[in-house]
A and B are shown apart, each in its own frame.
Chain A
């Protein structure tokens, strides 16, 4: 099929236009709609977890508060800032492609990936803390004698706190997995940008890669308050 694709469209053929699309506009619309729908499936994917979180947060209100308070909110806040900066650099990268600034485009893509790596590094530090505190669910889990916020005479139930940490690790773990996939996508975008494939007319991969990156950011924007901030009042 690859050999025949050129013949169909004749001389004005853009190499990025696939054989089954009539126009570049149709191809761009299809790609972008495809990514939006994919993000819809991602919302439902994380939605199941958010639903489980909601149920147990209501059921084990105080235990979740105590467990949440044991996480280092400073690291979480730093990561939030890092991700918001990375979203800005993604937008700037697209702008650079639209205005044909190749050097800026490449540096913005590199910067985005550095922010992404920084996020994962900080996440690793946080996981390590939890590991050392025996807050990783499993045989060595312990959460004894931790008072419930607002009720200094009551201790959190370790079983219920363990559910919080199970959700914490699954939710942030899946989010981190999405970040790693995002880094893979951006490596590919960087190679394409390096080869000068993106023009003001054609930069669809940047746009849909950017959509994905923003989506992963937004998931974090919801995870951060739910996991880190639910019981921080003095």
Chain B
């Protein structure tokens, strides 16, 4: 406990950032914190590439006519936007950056169970990224991120094989991260860190890892089949040769629906940590929040065919999948209600991470509720493949996953970098992101409901007003994303040194120095307290009258 109150020392102590210098000390590191930073740089790079494609899409849709790009180019733009954002940004975002950095520290370990495999997973990601970049620079791919057969295997004239192999390789990076987390959470917990004392961030990552481990191999083998079929002209998915294109869709969505939970579950974990800290309260219904993560992972595997309601599956199958899709809403709602109940009578602080968490709460709820529209068989037939679907999943993936990621980056930035970010700018950026996001995607709900289909580069003139609003919102959103990158970089050089625990937060990661030493803790932690003991923390702080940097 006494470590939590240590003030900043004048001489910088040895930590994971300054222990070794030079490119080699980074490229061959096995320190989970350094690998997290390698991931941070790489996924930020791909985020801006994916964002660049989004920008071109929104620019094209500014006017009803197809004027900026032609149909072929537009097909490539939305395909590569989706593939880059999903496989190279969202899937690795929170697990590979914040998870990598925090999972060992939160359970009180010196490192992940397999540090070299952790580094290998980053190299796999980089190899996949280079393959994807090469694919994009030499012509790109136009199948949609879903690779639907037989278009992808028999008709498309673009680089399907290369994109497929890139995503195949990136999948193994994701599998290895998940494997590492599960073993670490099972076998590397510090003495006294029981399952019921684990931060809910850990439970969320545990559930995520299960999906990564069990789901990703299926997309891998599916892509092997697609690549083999395209390269060797086999007939596995091609109806002309006796194959079954619906089989492809089943196999594809068996991974790609749970993949949504790979993106959102870690974000839920981040938001749980933030809400508890900035309400200064124990999380309401710890067990329910923990088990709802597992429930989402389990149910998530049983709902894939709701992407195929209009693809020709049997009515009875569709009924069951519709019902199961409703069932996923239950554990998700449990989380939302428990977060709200945690806020109730809490001592709420409106710092930047909390603003992102509030944004998450509202946007995720919107995304979740519109998901229920889509799991209803009748409504889905009407809005299938329209902008309603686009708006729905962006509310989950951008409004949910990305808000959580940004909130988490702000919350743990003092720990990661050892510097404080400028709070005023951060609150402004959070506000800009929230406004820009809603301006971009809310009009798309209306567009979709009015019948504007997705994946078209031109549209009837009556849709223009809403599309202009959406493009304007995307511009605002871009400012909101550039700001944090600028002030995070600024703070690394000019920011005030961060104390060990600037938020006076619970959790083992705050009981070591900022930035932490290479092996995380100077002495092995022994846990004797329950998770989120904010009542005890605050009682102690008031007694000792320690100033809290806020």
Which of B229-237, B438-446, B527-535 sits within the interface? B229-237
| Of A106-114, A160-168, A180-188, A223-231, the one with at least 4 CB within 8 A of chain B | A160-168
Cβ-defined contact, A45 with B113, below 8 A: no
Report A179 CB to chain B, min CB distance, Å. Answer: 17
The distance in angstroms between the C-alpha atoms of A123 and B253, with both chains bound, is 34
Total interface residues on A, using CB and 8 Å? 42
Instruction: Indicate whether A159 sits within 8 Å of B236 (C-beta atoms), given known contacts A41-B179, A170-B225.
Output: no
Q: Is chain A's binding surface mostly helix, strand, loop or mixed? A: helix
Taking the nearest CB of chain B, how far is it from the CB of A19, in angstroms?
7
Contact of A55 among B110, B221, B247, B519 (CB under 8 A): B247
Q: Report the interface size for chain B: residues with CB under 8 A from the other chain.
A: 46
Name the contact of B519 in the complex, choosing from A8, A60, A157 (C-beta under 8 A).
A8
Q: Contact: B183 with A33, CB < 8 Å?
A: yes
Chain B residue nearest in CB terms to A2: B30
Beta-carbon contact of A163 and B247 below 8 Å: no
Select the stretch in B75-83, B197-205, B208-216, B370-378 that faces chain A: B208-216
Do B221 and A41 have beta carbons less than 8 Å apart?
A: no
Asked if B319 is at the interface (CB within 8 A of a chain A CB), the reply is no
Closest B residue to A50 by beta carbon equals B221
> Across the interface, do A30 and B187 meet the contact criterion of CB distance under 8 Å?
yes
B65, CB-defined interface residue at 8 Å: no
A137 and B234 in contact, given A33-B183, A34-B179, A157-B242 (Cβ under 8 angstroms): yes
Which residues of chain B are near A4, meaning CB under 8 Å? 518
Instruction: Return A180 CB to nearest CB of chain B, in Å.
Output: 16
Kindly identify which residue among A20, A52, A55, A163 contacts B111, using a CB–CB cutoff of 8 Å: A20
Q: Does A22 contact B (CB under 8 A)?
A: yes
The answer to whether B215 and A44 have CB atoms under 8 Å apart is yes
- Of the candidates B109, B112, B182, B225, the one whose C-beta lies within 8 Å of that of A52 is B225
- Contacting pair B519 A49 (CB below 8 A): no
Q: A166 to B247: give the CA distance in the assembly, Å.
A: 15
Assess whether A16 is interfacial by the CB under 8 Å rule.
no
Instruction: Chain A residues near B112: list those with CB within 8 A.
Output: 20
Q: CB-CB < 8 A to B222: which residues of A?
A: 48
Taking the complex as formed, is B285 at the interface, i.e. its CB lies under 8 A from any CB of chain A?
no
Instruction: Give CA–CA (A20, B519) in the complex, Å.
Output: 8
For the complex, give the distance between the alpha carbons of A59 and B241 in Å.
13
Decide yes or no: A159 and B224 within 8 Å by CB, A29-B187, A41-B216, A41-B217 being known contacts: no
Task: Please give, as numbers and ranges, the residues of chain A lying within 8 Å of B241 by CB-CB distance.
Answer: 159, 162-163
Minimum-distance CB pairs A-B, first 4:
A48-B221, A45-B217, A20-B110, A44-B217
Interface residues of A (CB under 8 A from B): 1, 4, 8, 18-22, 26, 29-30, 33-34, 37-38, 40-42, 44-49, 51-52, 55-56, 59-60, 137-139, 157, 159-160, 162-163, 166-167, 170, 174
20 CB contacts below 8 A, A to B, read A1-B29, A19-B519, A29-B187, A34-B113, A44-B218, A45-B221, A48-B217, A48-B221, A60-B242, A137-B233, A157-B242, A159-B242, A162-B235, A162-B242, A163-B243, A166-B229, A166-B235, A170-B224, A170-B225, A170-B228
Additional A-B contact list (14), CB under 8 Å, known A167-B236, A174-B224: A4-B518, A20-B110, A20-B112, A20-B115, A30-B188, A37-B182, A40-B213, A44-B214, A48-B221, A51-B247, A52-B225, A52-B236, A52-B251, A138-B233
